Structure 1
Amino acid sequence: MSEFDNEKILELGKKVLEIEGAALNQMAHELGAEFAEAVRLIHLCKGRVILSGMGKSGHIARKIAATLASTGTPAHFVHPAEASHGDLGMITPNDICIVLSNSGETSELSDVIAHTRRFGIPLIGVASRAHSTLLRSADISLVLPNAPEACAIGMAPTTSTTATLALGDALAVAVMELRGFSPENFNTYHPGGKLGAQLIKVEGLMHSGDELPLVRPDTVMIDTIMTMNEKMFGLVGLIDDNDVLCGIITDGDLRRNLDGLLQKTAADIGLHMPRTVGKDMLAIEALTMMNNAKISAVFVIDETQKPIGLLHIHDCLRAGLG
């Protein structure tokens, strides 16, 4: 049997998660007024939030900057080494800086810190040592929990980076709440991928105008079929004299009424109200409704019951839904 059998490996994994989880709980209990001050400072920032850090703290800083930017707070990462060679010009008096360093003594950060002090740029410091150079220089100090790293030698950044990342998430989410950040706002910054697709509204995918397959109830069947074939949705909608949707005919209805079909009008087989959706419904909800009802398309109506669009299941699938 190997020295590291499955049970031993599971124990190692659980121990890491327990150590890091305990640190997060400790940080939650110790969170104080400085956190609220930091949130308000970020919320009121007129420029951008600049994140900086070296090594693993730099990787975490990039992630926090990305989270802030994607949730409505303009932010970007400035590498401390590049800052010392010209990129300090990217940090303006309208900005605020969040500088990360577990020890609080990272020498490469000295020029960034000095730049904020020289130009009166608000500085939020994040470190594990309250009396470190970084936190003594900062306007707002956020102290990480005094917790061991999760690795066997106690040196690899593990617990400290997890705590820093979680603190960044806490700041970003709190600022989101202060901004009243909505799903619509989220969609503005996430137009692509699964996240964006989940927030697309029916109006963004529906067909409209001349694309709509619509006929009057007294339309003869040959013309009804020609409209269905021309629009290629596998159905037509019936509208009355006020242009209100009053029925639907699907290709299935045609098959069920083959006997004497061409002697009939649209009203003879289509005067039953179809399922409909509104333009402001999320497309994913409309897709769920179509799947549950086993239909491939649905009319979009306005508040007067007039058809303004048509959503086909293929439109949803092409948009990355489902």
Structure 2
Amino acid sequence: MSQRPDLIETARRTIRMEIEAVQDLLPRLDTSFVKACEMILDCKGRVVVVGMGKSGHIGNKIAATLASTGTASFFVHPAEASHGDMGMITKDDIVLALSNSGTTAEIVTLLPLIKRLGIRLISMTGNPESPLAKAAEANLDARVAQEACPLNLAPTSSTTASLVLGDALAIALLEARGFTAEDFAFSHPGGALGRRLLLKVENVMHAGDTLPQVQRGTSLRDALLEMTQKGLGMTAVLERDGRLAGIFTDGDLRRALDKGIDVRQALIDEVMTPHGKTVHGEMLAAEALKIMEDNKISALVVVDAEDRPVGAFNLGDLLRAGVM
């Protein structure tokens, strides 16, 4: 009975080889990549991704990523394209064709028709001298030195490289378009992700009588009473004209006690955080959460265009709303 190979070492070798394949992509990002991006940005139609076998599975994912990040895209099986689905592609579209060899028969068969219809072509191949690469206006070089498969046959490193190159293309286009978190939200309206991305600060904040607020000059003792009554673990501090002067939180209270401040005698002005971080009601709640995480704070004041507090919320509110 033959001895089993070291399964962990095999897995590590596979991962190392695929990491190397991805790293090898970096020096090959050149004017062809820029050309492909410019073609897609200028495109009046959709990006139609085609690919056979494992390349087809990768192409499906690339099309989905493009579509969810601001680039209209869908996948067409090249064999089906030869039997009617070519009618789904218009002269305003761009074809992104994936083939590691660059000689896949089902794709090469489509090249004359793509050219006759005047459809622009981008290829992603492992062979820049292949018929597919030479037919394309821009070829994305996805070649790998070796597949992770010990037989050098099963598509492994090559499909990983193509997937990563597709992600690089999608994100480059996303940034070039100025695609925002709100844009992303409208591409993902369903389920928990949709709730997280579509909710705005105004949908989760406490406003009106539930907004904890005190004036400058208020005693710390009365400020703590306001915090207790409103239950947010914080209070906004207002200037006489109603603008935000500062914020006082449970954390500020702990720091005040550490300094030995007399809670019965101190004024809120002595212990508040001047002004503090603020957000606006129309901001996405997910963006506000990032501000809180980046600044390690647990509550935010919501202000209007004149810097007057109109609401407040804490991490508990975001948790209950399904934003985190």
TM-score, normalising length: structure 2: 0.72
Give 2:15's aligned residue: 17
**Distance verdict in 2 for CA 1:190–1:279, change over 3 Å:** farther
Cα distance between partner residues in 2 of 1:236 and 1:39: 49
**Distance verdict in 2 for CA 1:112–1:207, change over 3 Å:** farther
Cα distance between partner residues in 1 of 2:289 and 2:309: 17
Moved more, 110-119 or 89-98: 110-119
Cα distance between partner residues in 1 of 2:295 and 2:2: 53
Letter in 2 for 1:158: T
Give 1:285's aligned residue: 291
**Distance verdict in 2 for CA 1:24–1:241, change over 3 Å:** closer
Tell me whether 1:309 sits opposite 2:311 in the alignment.
yes
Q: Deviations over 1:252-282 (max 9, x none)?
A: xxxxxxxxxxxxxxxx998557665422472
SS of the equivalent of 1:154 reads coil
Give 1:206's aligned residue: 205
Cα distance between partner residues in 1 of 2:247 and 2:116: 71
**Distance verdict in 2 for CA 1:81–1:277, change over 3 Å:** same
Letter in 2 for 1:205: V
Percent identity, aligned pairs only?
42
Q: CA deviation at 1:121?
A: 0.5
Q: Deviations over 1:154-212 (max 9, x none)?
A: 21110111121122122223323433444554455456656984897644532335654
Q: Deviations over 1:223-250 (max 9, x none)?
A: xx99x87x77688767676444679999
Give 1:90's aligned residue: 88
Q: CA deviation at 1:214?
A: 6.2
Cα distance between partner residues in 2 of 1:142 and 1:215: 61
Q: Are the counterparts in 1 of residues 279 and 300 from structure 2 also a CA contact under 8 Å?
A: no
Cα distance between partner residues in 1 of 2:31 and 2:74: 25
Give 2:76's aligned residue: 78
Q: Deviations over 1:6-48 (max 9, x none)?
A: xx22321232223223333333333443222112111211111
- The runs of 5 or more residues in structure 2 that have no matched partner are 217-224, 251-264, 281-286
SS of the equivalent of 2:155 reads coil
Q: Are the counterparts in 1 of residues 127 and 143 from structure 2 also a CA contact under 8 Å?
A: no
Cα distance between partner residues in 2 of 1:158 and 1:215: 63
**Distance verdict in 2 for CA 1:270–1:114, change over 3 Å:** farther
Q: Are the counterparts in 2 of residues 144 and 160 from structure 1 also a CA contact under 8 Å?
A: yes
Q: CA deviation at 1:50?
A: 0.9
1:101-140 equivalence runs, <5 A: 101-110=99-108, 112-140=110-138
Cα distance between partner residues in 1 of 2:16 and 2:111: 34
Q: Are the counterparts in 1 of residues 65 and 167 from structure 2 also a CA contact under 8 Å?
A: yes
Tell me whether 1:164 sits opposite 2:162 in the alignment.
yes
Letter in 2 for 1:160: S
1:222-241 equivalence runs, <5 A: none
**Distance verdict in 2 for CA 1:215–1:25, change over 3 Å:** closer
Q: Are the counterparts in 1 of residues 181 and 197 from structure 2 also a CA contact under 8 Å?
A: no
Q: Are the counterparts in 2 of residues 187 and 200 from structure 1 also a CA contact under 8 Å?
A: no
Q: CA deviation at 1:74?
A: 1.4
Q: CA deviation at 1:297?
A: 5.4
Moved more, 277-286 or 91-100: 277-286
Moved more, 187-196 or 20-29: 187-196
Letter in 2 for 1:108: E
Q: Are the counterparts in 2 of residues 99 and 124 from structure 1 also a CA contact under 8 Å?
A: yes
- The runs of 5 or more residues in structure 1 that have no matched partner are 218-224, 252-267
Cα distance between partner residues in 2 of 1:247 and 1:171: 44
Q: Are the counterparts in 2 of residues 16 and 150 from structure 1 also a CA contact under 8 Å?
A: yes
Q: Deviations over 1:104-137 (max 9, x none)?
A: 2323335543442221000112222334332243
Q: Are the counterparts in 2 of residues 248 and 271 from structure 1 also a CA contact under 8 Å?
A: no
Give 2:302's aligned residue: 300
Q: CA deviation at 1:100?
A: 0.7
1:26-45 equivalence runs, <5 A: 26-45=24-43
Q: Are the counterparts in 2 of residues 50 and 77 from structure 1 also a CA contact under 8 Å?
A: yes
Cα distance between partner residues in 1 of 2:25 and 2:234: 59
Larger radius of gyration: 1
Q: Are the counterparts in 2 of residues 249 and 270 from structure 1 also a CA contact under 8 Å?
A: no
Moved more, 159-168 or 191-200: 191-200
Letter in 2 for 1:166: V
